[in-house]
Amino acid sequence: MAFGRIINMFYQLKDMGYGTYNTLYHANVMSIANYASGIWGYLDYNNSRMLQNKCNKFYLGTHIFTPTAAVNIEMDEPDIRSLRWVEMVRLKNRFAKMDEYRWPRIVLDWDVETGTNAWAREVKLILTQANCLEDPTLESVSDLDILSRNLLRMSRTSWKMDAHVKTKLELMLEIHDFSQEKVLLKANLPRLQRSLVLMFKAGVFPIRKETGRYKNIKRELRFCEVCEKKVIEDEKHFIFVCKKLKKVRKTYIPAFLKEHKLKWKREWEKCLRVMVQPENIKGFAKWLEQMYLARREIVYR
């Protein structure tokens, strides 16, 4: 229901910037999904992760086959469990600020002393994992900003490890700049363009290398449908080689290579890495859309 409201607003506006979407997402979706999570939020719930993944994929405009690790890397937002952990520590801070004779504080102190499978133990585990446990008695106030940053850093490490076990994400690991944050989102691209850039980086761009999988065609037989030569249509062929797309390619590639003093035959992955940098991504996204439309016109005419 809450997410449906965002979808309706999205289609009414035709698109929306990331700042607007993020505000609506946290106000309408997370406020309900994480309601009272300061009490129950320690465990991981698969349905909650599925909800977050669905919301992220919708905004990025990509389909269900896009690896979740790629979506998380581009969104660069704390996972839903981390948000609940922050709420648990926030609640602990409220208790810690109370006078010792207040019942919530008395219960917290008792919970800490018993040390059994209880709420205080879960808070300790959260602070320990995030390297933020300064006081085992939980009497001091924890810095939520440091906690959030440490949890996000842990999430980034986990996403990168997930990406390494996905063969589709080999290109993303080569060209994505992990030192930059939210490059795709900060570029404020139209939905189709940010969808195409993400799918290209995530190895699910609609070229034969990916679409051949839907028809159970062997990887070594997924030949280009555009130039109709017996060459596998992968990202390199699509961007730099296919002769039927030469006219569109000329509008961008020669000038780009000359400006950055690159030669694609020897370092094509480096070329792509430079293309998706913050200062170049808007031009690349616009040109990638033209290439996509030109390819579609040839294949489906």
State the virtual CA torsion across 26, 32, 37, 41 in degrees, nearest 10.
Answer: -90
* pLDDT tens for the 301 residues of the chain, in order: 678 888 898 889 888 999 999 999 999 999 999 999 999 999 999 999 999 999 999 999 998 889 999 999 999 999 999 999 999 999 999 999 999 899 999 988 898 888 777 899 999 999 999 999 988 888 899 999 999 999 999 999 999 999 999 988 999 999 999 988 899 999 999 999 999 999 999 999 999 999 998 889 998 999 999 987 889 999 999 999 999 999 999 999 999 999 999 888 888 989 999 999 999 999 999 999 999 999 999 988 7
65/160 same-domain check: yes
Residue 197, C-beta contacts closer than 8 angstroms, at least 6 positions apart: 184, 189, 276, 281, 284, 285, 288
Residue pLDDT, tens place only, 41-57: 999 999 999 999 999 99
State the virtual CA torsion across 99, 100, 104, 109 in degrees, nearest 10.
Answer: 140
Last residue of a domain, one of 131, 165, 199: 165
131/205 same-domain check: no
53/141 same-domain check: yes
Judge whether 253 lies within some domain.
yes
Q: Residue 3: its pLDDT value, please?
A: 84
Q: Residue 65: its pLDDT value, please?
A: 87
Judge whether 19 lies within some domain.
no
212/241 same-domain check: yes
272/239 same-domain check: yes
Domain that holds residue 294: 183-300
Judge whether 45 lies within some domain.
yes
263/296 same-domain check: yes
Domain count, the chain: 2
160/187 same-domain check: no
Judge whether 172 lies within some domain.
no
Q: Residue 22: its pLDDT value, please?
A: 92
Structure tokens at 146: 């440091």
246/129 same-domain check: no
What is the SS3 assignment for 156?
Answer: helix
**What single DSSP character describes residue 232?**
B
128/206 same-domain check: no
Judge whether 121 lies within some domain.
yes
Judge whether 113 lies within some domain.
yes
137/206 same-domain check: no
Phi, psi dihedrals of residue 223, rounded to the nearest 5°: -80, 155
Q: Residue 1: its pLDDT value, please?
A: 61
Judge whether 100 lies within some domain.
yes
Q: Residue 183: its pLDDT value, please?
A: 93
Judge whether 26 lies within some domain.
no
